[in-house]
Structure 1
Amino acid sequence: MKSINMKTLWITADDALARLGTKPQTLYANVSRGRIRAKPDPTDPRRSLYHADDVQRLAERHSGRRHTAAVAAQAIRWGDPVLPTTISSIAGGRLLYRGRDAADLSGAAALEDIAILLWETPGVVVKAFGCVMTGRSRLAAALGDLAARVADDLPALGRNPAVLRTEAADVLSTVAAGLAPWPDPIPLHQRLALGWHRPDAAEPIRKSLVLAAEHELNVSAFAARVTASSGAALSAAALSGLATLTGPRHGGAWLSVTRLAGQAGSIGVREAIRAMLSSEGAVRAFGHQLYPHGDPRAKIILESFEIPALYGLLVKAGEDLLGEPPNIDFALAALAATFDLPQDAPLVIFALSRTVGWLAHAMEQVESGQLIRPRASYAGS
């Protein structure tokens, strides 16, 4: 049987420099800034290998004269930073919330504590709502409840920041009512664990909520900021973020992980990876563009419980065959599998957590007073 050829994913420094047409110092600078992923060469630990796709992307960006329109277009697609923010940053393989390491915060903080930090407010009270069975999924309930309040909520523009922060807590309460319904005002991670009848899952859920709360200018955060820049209500910004999160290339990426695990259980880990590479051209369970040496969020989550044997085999295969460690989508899917949580649990955890980040971005955008309105480059006849 023909083996999987993974060598094209990683190239030597000489090859990278030839494609980039730059000096070694520039290559190392791009690695340190997270623009090019690198890993030790298994045949010579003193040397490094560089991710071919990252190198090619930068080579194409810098080829020829960089017109303003070309720079702007590249910035939208995993390009250079385009919006100033004080909420979070990703640098040197670390995720920072207002300058504090999210990995350290996950040691003891709850999601409510992260809201206090990101919103820069003295306290956050998330109201409790009873478990009302409506026949809707949790995600559908959150989407419907947010949409119902959008028409009644006041526009965010021109209002006192302290008032907006109080309203943000109310919007988070609305989302929590759909995603984590519980009659008592206990921390959100406990509401989820008890609502799923898995109290032993509370601790890894807590860590997951903290680590997924914010991640710079991801597509759902950008959607929330665009909505907020129009002056719309905070609930509208959160609704935009939640709708964007449902996409298979964002919050829905965990489905790819469960499909991979299902195939691995049937045909074997190696063949499952081969099949996904053939059908999708990528295995989304592994690697992250912003973390050349591995997603630190996934590492912390996976260390908080004993993963099933099948998922352990997948972790090893991902590193051996793809040269990539698991990412947060893999970690959330493994969490759901370990504690036998509902099928949509990864998306529920992600959505509840990320609502805190969306609201932080919405309020920062409103306070900037700027409208996000890029120009289009017409490509028709």
Structure 2
Amino acid sequence: MTEWLTREEALARLNVRPQTLYAYVSRGRIGMRPDGADPRRSQYRADDIAALATRRARGRSPQAIAESAIAWGEPAITTAISKVLHGRLVYRAKDAVALAATATLEETAGLLWASGTPVSFASLTPSTVRESGTPTAFARLSALAAAGRPSLGRRPAMLQQDGASATSVLATSFGASPGAEPVHERLARGWSVEAAGADLIRRALVLMADHELNASAFAARVAASTGSPIAACLLAGLATLTGPRHGGAGAAVIALVEDAERMGPDEAVARWLAHDRPLPAFGHPLYPEGDPRAGALLPDLDIDDGLLRLRDAVLAATGMHPNVDFALAALTLNLRLPADAPFRLFALGRSVGWTAHAVEQVTSNRPIRPRARYDGPVGMG
């Protein structure tokens, strides 16, 4: 829940005069609302004030502000799509975990896109692709991007249609069978999964739909700021997602499980830590008390014994809890999905968020062009 401060509390935290506080409000840098107990008074959003206080304490150097903002700092880009707030993931003011209890990915897209019409990822013609997986997804999305129209100057509804088409291409590339049913049902059919498993897939897709301004969302927005086709924005996001520090963590945790089975979980964890390797699928900087997305999936999974032993060993060694990458790996083993299913589920769900960020960036009509802080040789020779 958002915390709100009185005028006196806001002034004390910022150490500014009332005129300065009002200027921040008028520029949209601090949210304000009427006080429910006394409409003559106002309240001020605590998160905005904390971000401003941090910036003021650091100084006004543009370089210092930019460098801190690009690595787990306060948001550098304004967005209304999603937010991690007090350990909860929120999609446009709706709790993502609560939404995942019943919503489909299509319904989640309608929410994140602020779409006025129902969203469909239908694929009504049989795919000519015989194999599915990440290489297929890259190839088909690349072809769609190459043939796409630039995004600048087009209405959001048209851009959303492009995003739906790109997501449909990803779905069939990742193994969804043709049809007009919700995409989780088509994935389950393509992967020979029964109804209970299909519902778990649905929930995972919704939970992966967006996650603030992460690396892949930022890449999609950079592409959108140049006017690239929406499919190209999704391609930028997909390329960024492949890294082991992002969407590739699901594969890394499987490797860690294999190490744990071969040498024992305590020894495997000790070796990973001794080599200064971050433990994949455990802990998250935004969720110090535990990833709620993992909490929404794991209770309904029959978790593999190897994963359970690994979870206990990591908790004993580091105190870190499983995050959503662990949950996707557990889901993959539980339902006997393709080995790269964690990445497929991550990418397909996140394509909805990439589209939302791309459309928001295009409609903002603002370029993204950071400056570099050069620290190389200065001689001109």
Instruction: Give yes or no for TM over 0.5.
Output: yes
Partner residue, 1:92: 86
3-state SS of paired residue (2:300): coil
Over aligned residue pairs, what C-alpha RMSD do you find? 2.0
- Listed as ranges, the matches of 1:155-166 within 5 Å are 155-166=150-161
What does the per-residue CA deviation read over 1:254-280, in whole Å, with 9 as the maximum and x for residues that have no partner? 122111111111211111111111224
Tell me, which stretches of 5 or more residues in structure 1 are unaligned?
1-24, 27-60
3-state SS of paired residue (2:73): coil
Partner residue, 1:54: none
161-170 or 213-222, larger mean C-alpha shift: 161-170
Matches of 2:338 and 2:275, distance apart in 1: 27
3-state SS of paired residue (2:275): helix
Q: Is the 8 A contact 2:205 2:348 kept in 1?
A: yes
- Listed as ranges, the matches of 1:1-381 within 5 Å are 67-121=61-115, 122-128=117-123, 129-135=125-131, 137-199=132-194, 200-381=196-377
Q: Is the 8 A contact 2:144 2:166 kept in 1?
A: no
Superposition misfits of 4+ residues, deviation over 6 angstroms: 61-64
Task: Give the 3 Å change call, closer, same or farther, for CA 273–62 of structure 1 in structure 2.
Answer: farther
Matches of 1:85 and 1:221, distance apart in 2: 11
Per-residue deviation at 1:143? Answer: 1.2
Q: Is the 8 A contact 2:176 2:183 kept in 1?
A: no
3-state SS of paired residue (1:147): helix
**Residue identity opposite 1:361 in structure 2:** H
211-220 or 275-284, larger mean C-alpha shift: 275-284
**Residue identity opposite 1:299 in structure 2:** G
Task: Give the 3 Å change call, closer, same or farther, for CA 202–270 of structure 1 in structure 2.
Answer: same
Per-residue deviation at 1:338? Answer: 1.5
Task: Give the 3 Å change call, closer, same or farther, for CA 64–98 of structure 1 in structure 2.
Answer: closer
Per-residue deviation at 1:65? Answer: 5.7
Matches of 1:64 and 1:182, distance apart in 2: 53
What does the per-residue CA deviation read over 1:354-377, in whole Å, with 9 as the maximum and x for residues that have no partner? 000000000000000001011111
Q: Is the 8 A contact 1:89 1:97 kept in 2?
A: yes
274-283 or 97-106, larger mean C-alpha shift: 274-283
Per-residue deviation at 1:282? Answer: 2.1
Per-residue deviation at 1:62? Answer: 9.9
Q: Is the 8 A contact 1:308 1:337 kept in 2?
A: yes
Per-residue deviation at 1:171? Answer: 1.9
Matches of 2:56 and 2:265, distance apart in 1: 39
Partner residue, 1:16: none
Q: TM-score, normalised by structure 1?
A: 0.81
Matches of 1:180 and 1:216, distance apart in 2: 27
Q: Is the 8 A contact 2:82 2:90 kept in 1?
A: yes
Q: Is the 8 A contact 1:114 1:213 kept in 2?
A: yes
Matches of 2:135 and 2:354, distance apart in 1: 18
Per-residue deviation at 1:347? Answer: 0.4
Q: Is the 8 A contact 1:180 1:188 kept in 2?
A: no
Matches of 1:168 and 1:63, distance apart in 2: 41
101-110 or 195-204, larger mean C-alpha shift: 195-204
Q: Is the 8 A contact 1:130 1:181 kept in 2?
A: no
3-state SS of paired residue (2:357): helix
Tell me, which stretches of 5 or more residues in structure 2 are unaligned?
1-12, 15-54
Q: Is the 8 A contact 1:294 1:325 kept in 2?
A: yes
Matches of 2:144 and 2:233, distance apart in 1: 12
**Residue identity opposite 2:364 in structure 1:** S
Matches of 2:321 and 2:314, distance apart in 1: 6
Per-residue deviation at 1:316? Answer: 2.2
What does the per-residue CA deviation read over 1:325-345, in whole Å, with 9 as the maximum and x for residues that have no partner? 101111111111112211101
Matches of 2:295 and 2:162, distance apart in 1: 34
3-state SS of paired residue (1:284): coil
Matches of 1:123 and 1:180, distance apart in 2: 23
Q: Is the 8 A contact 1:93 1:293 kept in 2?
A: yes
What does the per-residue CA deviation read over 1:127-167, in whole Å, with 9 as the maximum and x for residues that have no partner? 224254434x4212221111112232111110122222222
Q: TM-score, normalised by structure 2?
A: 0.81
